[in-house]
Structure 1
Amino acid sequence: MAAAGGVGDGGAGPGRALQTAMRAASGALEMDSAGRTREAYVEYLKSITLISQALQDEAALTEDSEGLGSNTPKMLKLAEQCLERVKSLAATLGQKTNKAKPSVPGGPAPISRHRRVFSDEGGKLSPFLPPEIFQKLQIAEAQSARKELTPLEEASLQNQKLKAAYEARVARLNPSQALQKTSLTLSLQRQMMENLVIARAREETLQRKMEERRLRLQEAANRRFSSSVALTPEEQEQRELYAAILEYEQDHDWPRQWKAWLKRSPSDLSLVTGLFSCLLRAEGDPRSPRESSFEDLERFLASPEDWPPAEPMAKPRPAASLQEQLKGIVRDIHNAIDRLLSLTLLAFEGLSTAAGKDQCLACIEDAFFPPLWAPLLALYRNVHRPQEEALARSMERHRHASPADLGLSPRLFPTAPGRLAYGAAIDELCLIPLETCPRRKLDCIVRALRSICECAEEYCSTRDSRAPTAGTIGADELLPLLSYAVLRSALPQLQSECAALEEFIHEGCLLGEEGYCLTSLQSALAFLQSLP
């Protein structure tokens, strides 16, 4: 359905075609990450078909003109990355097919693992085993290849083998050998009963030992959470989780290895990055990283600059309902991050320092926000649309404003004509929408303000070498200079970016330089909106 609709909409323009193809690729990526290999394979092929059809239509429309459309490089890049995933998934599906086929048609005949056997009568050759008995033996053999069977499961497999062997032997008997058949039946029943009795005894012993271990680990959890007052529901949940963590560590070595490394080098915060890389990797296996083609496509689809402009909604939701929806989403994100941090500190007590918590939060943000920021910012922009529109109008009106129009002194600007003033700060502000992690966005803001101070000192010292180079500007001049840099960046979406950063930046950062810089940028945005 997606493929048919996308091809049919080709006439709506290349932007619409790119948007349709990217939606299909995004859906394929979700199936890919969920392990739905065959469905993802088909959906990637649909994406490539949509792109191919759109490029054909575009080439036909531009046959007599020079060049191609502006979206062509993006569409080719998306097709290339989808094709990489198709190749990888095709190899995976091919391996599964080869494993499923016992033999290749036309090849050499497989050597039979079952041979004709002698009966009990005079060494006479008996026919091959009946198909149903052969099938039972195959099933029993396949199930026996499984690992970590319980004692009762092992006994059940043994009994299946005994029963298959019994039926095979009975099939070789003549009707006159009824007495021997009775003896074989009684022997089979006795052996099967003995297997079950032994298995039940082993099962009871194993359950008793497991219960003893559970109680021992529960006592360890109780000692950690011992308190003279009653535990809150959160503390009770943490105690149960801690007991589950201890039980998991009894059967797996890697958590103990990481604890030992953290204890050996408590000041090496790079270990925290490696730990989270192991914790958050696909399927929790530190030896199987995700394929580069998957990461490339995921990064491409998450980049806001690569997406075509969103189509206007037919029926926009009221601002009040959008705000309520945004509040609920923000609350869910905070709860998820807090829970993940709590679980990490519960499992790895050595990280419960201030520096360790900050590093854990940084690692969680790096993994959590990149796939989330683009749709989250889109919701913020819908909620803050009036403020963004007012800021955009002000930026358009004053895009040619001189420094004097903003109340700035000429000494704070370069003497060389044609030189872009505060270009480094403007570049840093333009990097903010390209980042997908709140901490890195805040770093861009901090670098922008530092650059403004450095440039102001440089310009002042160029005009007057006797002027002091430190503390050249104060807060009353920093705000207009920052407003000038924001005006030259022409990015009204900074309004929504700052609103989101204020919500998701850790409160510890807001008390220092980072918080001062974020507040200054918000003040500059408000100042630009108020310009007449």
Structure 2
Amino acid sequence: MAAAGGDGPGGPGAGQALQAAMRAASGALEMDSAGRPREAYVQYLRSIAGIAQALQEEAAGADGSGGVTPDTPKMLKLAEQCLERVKSIAAALGKAQAKPAAQERGGGPAPLPRHRRVLSDEGAKLSPFVPPEIFQKLQIAEAQSARKELTPLEEASLQNQKLKAAYEARVARLNPSQALQKTSLTLSLQRQMMENLVIAKAREETLQRKMEERRLRLQEAANRRFSGSVALTPEEQEQRALYAAVLEYEQDHEWPRQWKARLKRSPADLSLVSGLFSCLLSFPEHPIAQLLRRLQCAVYARLYPVVSRGTADAALSVPSLDVGGSLPAEPGGRRLRASRSLHCMFSVPEHGPAGLRHSLSGTPLADGTPRAEGGWPGPAAAPQTPRESSFEDLERFLASPEGWAPGEPPDGPGQEAALPEQLKGVVRDIHNAIDRLLALTLLAFEGLNTAAGKDQSLACLEEAFFPPLCAPLLALYRSVHRPREAALARSMERHRHASPADMGLSSRLLPPAPGRPAYGSAIEDLRLIPLETCPRRKLECVARALRGICECAEEYCGARDGRSPACAAVGADDLLPILSYVVLQTGLPQLLSECAAMEEFIHEGYLIGEEGYCLTSLQSALSYVESLQ
């Protein structure tokens, strides 16, 4: 880096010095993003030292201009941002070293690990979501790990390297008097290396010609498939190109033909559809899997600027509730915990003495902090290792140094009124993406082109598409419904001690044994909704909750009347009070946004059946609880 700065002001060395400085800072930023603060700390210091040395050499070699070049302000800005990160990391490392000693003296429990966070485009508000660039790297990491075959020229290059190594070893063993033999060996080496390159070049040209012939042949097959349309739309042209890529992939792999044969033998076996998609998604180089990742990245790139600006405010504006319940346990007794992975940034409530976590951004609302009057959590606590605005500034500078100008203010937050329109655009993109994936899947595997096959394929595609997008998508829904969620949260807080009788339940719908929790299974099922990452799975939780309500009510009635549980039934007039009580006991105001998302992304065929009735009933109960005075 230092040597690059000595070509004079404004010369090529100045640009090289800036590029070298940006490469060094990018390496430090990658370490910082990967959670390696100590290594990033050293790399940032190296970047600053390199920038200082380059500027010093430019100034020393200047002739009257003072050594200031057009790149000097950018290098100074880069050094300033690296220095800010050094200060932040040094402070965090100092606190990390001080905490074990303090805990050893005080004997207190170790703090719970938290999600690592990045900063929003505003440069001052915490966001629980990774930038789109990192999201894309996470999505394609598996595809990049696939083994790449060497081309003929690459194989020839490796062979020539081995020949050269053998030649050097033989020459080293020759005596000085054997100059003629050394010349012969040199000429032989050159001839063999040239022959290898010529043969490899011929092989590569032949291979390219065959590949081009095959590509044209498959393109003709794709054109025949789409020959019914006189003028193709851009979407149909893209679909034709993707179908040609699928045909080309099937020329080199056997497993698609095997699955097609299985589907043809057993067209009614829907279990084959799930197996096919499991196999398909395990091959990241398949065109359908590639399209899936590309569409996920496109949707996330549209979501990130919106949700990264709004989550910090939303986390503070919607109060968290704790109605004395707890997360349900798995059949084995292990408590369900919110995922800490990058693909699931939200945390559902984890009630208990260790701490209460429930907010849009996953920020802990109570972790050893005093609570407000009545046992409700106070203001949000600061995260354990915050990432200041310097991190985001450095990311933005490295992404676009040419667009940076001294004193440029960060972008302001989006207008609240624009959120519904942005949500509509994201929803439209998601529907279009799933439609494109389904159309390509039906083109590639014609055996799925039945009513049952389409429905099962759509379910499999949704389960693959939604998980990495669920958290930011729900964050956008919660931002749009923030006023209603706040009203619902206030109502839940006001009536958190309400008994079933206060909600209008008659005595026959209550457990006969005193002290037994009423409709506990339904409360647990509704609390599972935020843990699911696919709309259909969330809707299944709603349906299970209402079935559990009916089963409990029939059991209570049968136990009181001495009749068989099957003889009792819950009427529609009884369902709303029971469900309102269950909703109140969950303490989850975000159920309102969850229901809005389910209503948008659940297929119409489900919404006109039992699941649709269950969802409508839950929405009615939420509206009722929200309106309680």
Normalising by the smaller structure, the TM-score range is 0.5 to 0.7
Q: Describe the SS at the equivalent of 2:427.
A: helix
Separation in structure 2 between the aligned mates of residue 488 and residue 147 of structure 1, nearest angstrom: 74
CA positional deviation for 1:465? 1.1
Q: Which residue of 2 aligns with 1:511?
A: 608
Aligned CA RMSD, in angstroms, stands at 4.4
Question: Which structure: greater helix fraction?
Answer: 1
Q: How does 1:279-318 map to 2 (within 5 A)?
A: 279-281=280-282, 283-284=284-285, 299=341, 302-305=344-347, 307-309=362-364, 317-318=414-415
Query: Residue 308 of structure 1 aligns to which amino acid in structure 2?
Result: T
Deviation digits for residues 240-259 of structure 1, max 9, x if unmatched?
55455445434443322221
Q: Which residue of 2 aligns with 1:409?
A: 506
Q: Which residue of 2 aligns with 1:64?
A: 105
Q: 1:472 to 1:55 in 2, by over 3 A?
A: farther
Separation in structure 2 between the aligned mates of residue 396 and residue 215 of structure 1, nearest angstrom: 63
Query: Residue 226 of structure 1 aligns to which amino acid in structure 2?
Result: G
Separation in structure 2 between the aligned mates of residue 140 and residue 381 of structure 1, nearest angstrom: 67
Q: 1:484 to 1:297 in 2, by over 3 A?
A: closer
Task: Please say if 1:382 is aligned against 2:372.
Answer: no
Correspondence for 1:369 among 466, 477, 499: 466
CA positional deviation for 1:321? 1.5
Q: 1:478 to 1:142 in 2, by over 3 A?
A: farther
Q: Which residue of 2 aligns with 1:265?
A: 266
Q: Which residue of 1 aligns with 2:427?
A: 330
CA positional deviation for 1:504? 1.1
- Residues 345 and 351, structure 1, Cα contact 8 Å, conserved in 2: yes
- Residues 58 and 68, structure 1, Cα contact 8 Å, conserved in 2: no
Q: Describe the SS at the equivalent of 1:358.
A: helix
Q: Which residue of 2 aligns with 1:197?
A: none
Q: 1:335 to 1:498 in 2, by over 3 A?
A: same
Task: Please say if 1:149 is aligned against 2:204.
Answer: yes
Query: Residue 526 of structure 2 aligns to which amino acid in structure 1?
Result: L
Q: Which residue of 2 aligns with 1:277?
A: 278
- Residues 370 and 437, structure 1, Cα contact 8 Å, conserved in 2: yes
Separation in structure 2 between the aligned mates of residue 349 and residue 115 of structure 1, nearest angstrom: 62
CA positional deviation for 1:125? 3.5
- Residues 221 and 243, structure 1, Cα contact 8 Å, conserved in 2: no
Q: Which residue of 2 aligns with 1:479?
A: 576
CA positional deviation for 1:446? 0.4
Q: 1:450 to 1:143 in 2, by over 3 A?
A: farther
- Residues 486 and 524, structure 1, Cα contact 8 Å, conserved in 2: yes
Query: Residue 268 of structure 1 aligns to which amino acid in structure 2?
Result: D
Separation in structure 1 between the aligned mates of residue 212 and residue 36 of structure 2, nearest angstrom: 55
Q: Describe the SS at the equivalent of 2:181.
A: coil
- Residues 220 and 243, structure 1, Cα contact 8 Å, conserved in 2: no
Q: How does 1:64-143 map to 2 (within 5 A)?
A: 64-72=105-113, 112=167, 125-128=180-183, 141=196
- Residues 487 and 626, structure 2, Cα contact 8 Å, conserved in 1: yes
Separation in structure 1 between the aligned mates of residue 211 and residue 413 of structure 2, nearest angstrom: 59
Task: Please say if 1:440 is aligned against 2:537.
Answer: yes
- Residues 341 and 361, structure 1, Cα contact 8 Å, conserved in 2: yes
Correspondence for 2:217 among 213, 216, 222: 213
After superposing the two structures, state which structure 1 stretch, 461-470 or 332-341, moved more: 461-470
With a CA cutoff of 8 Å and minimum separation of 6, indicate the structure with the bigger relative contact order: 2
Q: Which residue of 1 aligns with 2:34?
A: 44
Deviation digits for residues 82-125 of structure 1, max 9, x if unmatched?
xxx9xx99xx9xxxxxx9xx9xxxxxxx7548857xxxxxx994
Q: Which residue of 2 aligns with 1:174?
A: none
Q: Percent identity?
A: 56
Deviation digits for residues 125-144 of structure 1, max 9, x if unmatched?
43257989958965874796
Q: Which residue of 2 aligns with 1:249?
A: 250
Separation in structure 1 between the aligned mates of residue 182 and residue 563 of structure 2, nearest angstrom: 111
Separation in structure 1 between the aligned mates of residue 479 and residue 540 of structure 2, nearest angstrom: 25
CA positional deviation for 1:488? 0.6
Q: Which residue of 2 aligns with 1:462?
A: 559
Aligned length: 403
After superposing the two structures, state which structure 1 stretch, 231-240 or 404-413, moved more: 231-240
Query: Residue 455 of structure 1 aligns to which amino acid in structure 2?
Result: C
- Residues 303 and 434, structure 1, Cα contact 8 Å, conserved in 2: no
Deviation digits for residues 363-412 of structure 1, max 9, x if unmatched?
11221111111111111111111111100100011111122221110110
- Residues 522 and 544, structure 2, Cα contact 8 Å, conserved in 1: yes
Q: Which residue of 2 aligns with 1:33?
A: none
CA positional deviation for 1:337? 1.0
Deviation digits for residues 204-259 of structure 1, max 9, x if unmatched?
xx69965883576256425xx537x7666655654555455445434443322221
Q: Describe the SS at the equivalent of 1:415.
A: coil
Deviation digits for residues 488-527 of structure 1, max 9, x if unmatched?
1111111111111111111111111111111111100000
CA positional deviation for 1:531? 0.8
Separation in structure 2 between the aligned mates of residue 363 and residue 37 of structure 1, nearest angstrom: 38
Q: Describe the SS at the equivalent of 1:279.
A: helix
Query: Residue 611 of structure 2 aligns to which amino acid in structure 1?
Result: E
Query: Unaligned stretches of 5+ in structure 1?
Result: 1-35, 76-84, 93-98, 103-109, 117-122, 154-202, 287-295
Separation in structure 2 between the aligned mates of residue 279 and residue 230 of structure 1, nearest angstrom: 32
Q: Describe the SS at the equivalent of 2:431.
A: helix
Q: 1:68 to 1:503 in 2, by over 3 A?
A: same
Separation in structure 2 between the aligned mates of residue 211 and residue 152 of structure 1, nearest angstrom: 12
Q: 1:43 to 1:382 in 2, by over 3 A?
A: closer
Separation in structure 2 between the aligned mates of residue 352 and residue 65 of structure 1, nearest angstrom: 66
Separation in structure 1 between the aligned mates of residue 234 and residue 412 of structure 2, nearest angstrom: 43
- Residues 466 and 534, structure 2, Cα contact 8 Å, conserved in 1: yes
Q: Which residue of 2 aligns with 1:429?
A: 526
Separation in structure 2 between the aligned mates of residue 275 and residue 239 of structure 1, nearest angstrom: 22
Q: TM-score if structure 1 supplies the norm length? A: 0.64
Separation in structure 2 between the aligned mates of residue 230 and residue 376 of structure 1, nearest angstrom: 36
Query: Unaligned stretches of 5+ in structure 2?
Result: 1-25, 40-88, 117-137, 146-154, 159-164, 172-177, 288-337, 349-361, 365-379, 384-388, 390-410
Q: Which residue of 1 aligns with 2:320?
A: none
Q: Which residue of 2 aligns with 1:186?
A: none
Deviation digits for residues 171-202 of structure 1, max 9, x if unmatched?
xxxxxxxxxxxxxxxxxxxxxxxxxxxxxxxx
- Residues 339 and 345, structure 2, Cα contact 8 Å, conserved in 1: no
Q: TM-score if structure 2 supplies the norm length? A: 0.55
Query: Residue 254 of structure 1 aligns to which amino acid in structure 2?
Result: W
- Residues 424 and 448, structure 1, Cα contact 8 Å, conserved in 2: yes
Q: 1:421 to 1:45 in 2, by over 3 A?
A: closer
CA positional deviation for 1:46? 1.5
Separation in structure 2 between the aligned mates of residue 304 and residue 321 of structure 1, nearest angstrom: 24
Separation in structure 1 between the aligned mates of residue 33 and residue 232 of structure 2, nearest angstrom: 50
Q: 1:138 to 1:486 in 2, by over 3 A?
A: farther
Q: 1:65 to 1:212 in 2, by over 3 A?
A: closer
Q: Describe the SS at the equivalent of 1:267.
A: coil
After superposing the two structures, state which structure 1 stretch, 130-139 or 371-380, moved more: 130-139
Q: Describe the SS at the equivalent of 1:521.
A: helix
Q: Which residue of 1 aligns with 2:618?
A: 521
CA positional deviation for 1:448? 0.3
